[in-house]
Amino acid sequence: MKMSIADLRKEYTKGSLSEKDLEQNPFKQFEKWFEEAKAAGIEEPNAMTLATATKDAKPSIRTVLLKGVDERGFVFYTNYESRKGRELAENPNAALCFHWQPLERQVSIMGMVEKVSREESEAYFRSRPLTSRYGAWASHQSEVIAGKAELLKRAAEMALKYPTGDVPCPPFWGGYRLLPDEIQFWQGQPSRLHDRFRYLKQPDGTWKIDRLSP
């Protein structure tokens, strides 16, 4: 007999999280968990779900890659004319979620998004593989295309145009930084009594930590 989706269950037993384990600064806590995710051999530990919404609060969601983090926030890059770019132009509120399943951990991040400086975008663009730089020009992200051949043709045209690899950063491409005002750390626990802590940014720039019911 086939098992129904509702019957799929897993007991979480990989670890726990208590107040004494937490860094007072959520960025330091994130760095600690991120390094542990890398050490655990998790493939693409920088993969994160990004949720955006239109000005009318119609949401959309996708996976992007974290490309930088510091005390200012979490950085990712994309086409500014993509669906997420258009939504962020209308509504700068966004959320991120990291799910490190082998460690039974999640990190959720909420806040406002702003574009990084043009200098930051150009510096990162130059660090990308050459084929990815051609691809950034070739892809009119989120737009309908007739077929894969159309995309490959545009990429080939860019390779002919810039044979030495000196590809400029497209004006429609660059980075965003999510400036968090709330960060949650979740550690799976037996019987669904998970450990969940919320950092809320205070008016003076400090962070208030609360344990939340799972």
pLDDT for residue 179: 98
Work out the percent of the chain whose per-residue pLDDT is above 70: 100
Q: Which domains does the chain have, with CATH numbers?
A: 13-126+171-211 (2.30.110.10)
Task: Give the integer Cα–Cα distance in Å for 136 and 151.
Answer: 11
Longest CA pairwise span in the chain (Å): 60
pLDDT of 99 higher than 70: yes
Task: Give the integer Cα–Cα distance in Å for 135 and 137.
Answer: 5
pLDDT of 40 higher than 80: yes
The answer to whether residue 133 is catalytic is: no
Structure tokens at 155: 């990429």
Which of the residue ranges 3-7, 22-26, 128-132, 145-149 would you say has the lowest mean pLDDT? 3-7
Task: Give the integer Cα–Cα distance in Å for 31 and 28.
Answer: 5
pLDDT for residue 1: 58
Which string of DSSP letters, residue by residue, matches 94-155?
EEEEEEEGGGTEEEEEEEEEEEPPHHHHHHHHHHS-HHHHHHHHH--TTS--S-HHHHHHHH
* For range 16-20, the mean pLDDT: 95
pTM: 0.93
Work out the percent of the chain whose per-residue pLDDT is above 90: 89
Please enumerate, as own/partner, the contacts of 43-47 that have beta carbons within 8 Å and a separation of 24 or more.
Answer: 45/98, 45/100, 47/98
In the set 62, 118, 126, 192, the catalytic residue is 192
Q: Are 167 and 134 spatial neighbours (Cβ–Cβ below 8 Å)?
A: yes
* pLDDT per residue as tens digits for the range 111-145: 999 999 999 999 999 999 999 999 999 999 888 88
**Residues paired with residue 75 on neighbouring β-strands, in sequence order:** 68, 177
pLDDT for residue 9: 85
